[in-house]
C-alpha cells in the first residue's frame, strides 16, 4: 500500500512568488492534515480536513495560505505571495479515523526555501 506522498520534494522560490504544494494521502483516509516545521523549531499544526471539509484551520498563519481538498482526495496548499518566514518543511499526514488516539501517517515533506 502506498504511503502519503508529497510533491515537490523541494522548492526554491523568490519572495513574492506563489508556490503550490500537493499531498496525496493514503487511499481511503478521510482525514488529512498539514503541518509545518520551521528550521530548528517544532513541527506545528496548520489544518485538518475531513474529506473535503476543513475541520480545523486554527494553525494557518495568515491569509496568504490557502488549502484545498476538492473531492476529498488529494490536497493542495498554496502560499501567495510567499515571504521569507514561510521557509521550512511542510508535512502532510493522513489518518483513517478522527480522534486523538489515531495514528497519523506522514509524508516525507516538502522543503520550501523562500529567497
Q: Enumerate binding residues for another protein (CB under 8 A).
A: 3-4, 33, 35, 40-45, 48, 56, 58-59, 91, 93, 98-109
Q: Which is nearer to another protein, 67 or 82 (CB)?
A: 67
> DSSP string covering 14-74, please?
-TT--EEEEEE--TT--EEEEEEE-TTS-EEEEEEEETTEEEE-TT--STTEEEE-GGGS-
Taking the least distance from each CB to another protein, the nearer of 59 and 81 is 59
CB atoms within 10 A of CB 16: 10
Nearest CB to another protein, comparing residues 83 and 102:
102
Nearest approach in angstroms of CB 14 to another protein is 25
Amino acid at each position: 500500500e502506498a504511503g502519503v506522498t508529497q510533491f515537490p520534494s523541494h522548492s526554491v522560490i523568490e519572495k513574492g512568488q506563489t508556490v503550490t504544494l500537493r499531498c496525496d494521502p493514503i487511499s481511503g483516509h478521510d482525514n488529512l492534515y498539514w503541518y509545518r516545521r520551521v528550521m530548528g523549531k517544532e513541527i506545528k499544526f496548520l489544518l485538518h480536513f475531513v474529506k473535503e471539509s476543513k475541520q480545523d484551520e486554527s494553525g494557518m498563519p495568515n491569509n496568504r495560505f490557502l488549502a484545498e481538498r476538492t473531492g476529498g482526495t488529494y490536497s493542495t496548499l498554496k502560499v501567495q505571495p510567499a515571504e521569507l518566514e514561510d521557509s521550512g518543511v511542510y508535512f502532510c499526514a493522513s489518518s483513517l479515523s478522527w480522534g486523538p488516539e489515531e495514528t497519523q501517517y506522514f509524508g516525507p515533506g516538502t522543503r520550501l526555501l523562500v529567497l
